[in-house]
């Protein structure tokens, strides 16, 4: 054992660009029937803005998403209880995300007036999205989006939404002059990691993050010898 929080071997993450995420969302919107397309568009959108695990998103129930009455701006919260490490957490949702979820729920409820599940996200028959179904459907989406991979790049994976959220959040913090060490516990809590050290390891060997750190050093003149 090497003492690291995860296995010694892992696939290199693919950090999505905004354009690639848009392409995936468009591809999801072309699924059939319509409720399946809306379910997957909203699900992928939620993964994009929260960094949730796909298992956590699949297992969300309607009462796990609530509006923040105190804020008064239409924002809300998602309560994540089915986590990898058994830790519950609250993740904030922006007003635009809450609006998208409400729009999807209206379509879902019109399609299935007699609910078959308490799940937020449903498959074509109105049942909770199964693990195997999620994998098969995303392979269909990434193929349509032209992100199935090849000899020079890896295929897009659902877990890459999580990597992209973590990496891009930290890159944005770095580029605005924020303190990386101060940000890590916050990001760790968002991701549901057991501690910041797990998040450091999770983000290690990510070229996009290394480039952002290099920009910071050069901007401060740290690259001069």
Clarify whether 105 is annotated catalytic: no
CA 190 to chain centre: 11
Query: Which entry of 58, 142, 157, 202 is annotated as an active-site residue?
Result: 202
**Does 6 qualify as catalytic in the annotation?**
no
Residue 53 is a catalytic residue: yes
Cβ partners under 8 Å of residue 175, min gap 6: 212, 215, 216
87 catalytic? Reply is no
Single out the catalytic residue among 10, 84, 103, 131: 84
From the list 124, 159, 200, 216, the catalytic residue is 159
Question: Which uninterrupted H or E stretch holds 81?
Answer: none
Q: Please name every residue paired with 77 in a beta bridge, in sequence order, or none if there are none.
A: 66, 92
CA distance 73 to 195: 31
200 is a catalytic site residue: no
What CA–CA distance (Å, rounded) separates 61 from 128? 9
116 catalytically annotated: no
Taking only Cα atoms into account, the Rg of the chain, rounded to an integer number of angstroms, comes to: 19
CA distance 60 to 47: 12
Q: Catalytic pick from 142, 157, 162, 173?
A: 162
Q: Which of these is catalytic: 53, 58, 157, 173?
A: 53
Task: List, by residue number, the catalytic residues.
Answer: 53, 84, 159, 162, 193, 202
């Amino acid at each position: 054992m090497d003492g690291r929080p995860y296995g010694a071997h892992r696939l290199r993450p693919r950090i999505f660009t905004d354009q690639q995420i848009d392409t995936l969302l468009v591809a999801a919107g072309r699924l059939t029937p319509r409720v399946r397309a809306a379910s997957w568009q909203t699900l992928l959108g939620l993964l994009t803005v929260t960094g949730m695990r796909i298992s956590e998103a699949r297992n969300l129930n309607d009462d796990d998403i609530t509006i923040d009455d105190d804020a008064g701006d239409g924002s809300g919260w998602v309560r994540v209880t089915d986590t990898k490490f058994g830790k519950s957490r609250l993740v904030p949702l922006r007003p635009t995300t809450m609006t998208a979820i409400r729009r999807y729920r209206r379509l879902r409820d019109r399609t299935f007036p007699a609910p078959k599940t308490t799940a937020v996200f449903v498959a074509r028959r109105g049942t909770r999205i199964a693990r195997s179904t999620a994998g098969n459907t995303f392979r269909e989406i990434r193929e349509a989006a032209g992100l199935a991979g090849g000899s020079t790049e890896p295929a897009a994976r659902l877990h890459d939404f999580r990597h992209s959220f973590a990496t891009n959040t930290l890159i944005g913090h770095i580029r605005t002059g924020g303190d990386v060490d101060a940000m890590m516990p916050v990001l760790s809590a968002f991701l549901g990691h057991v501690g910041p050290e797990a998040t450091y390891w999770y983000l290690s060997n990510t070229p996009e993050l290394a480039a952002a750190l290099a920009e910071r050093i050069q901007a401060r003149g740290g690259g001069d010898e």
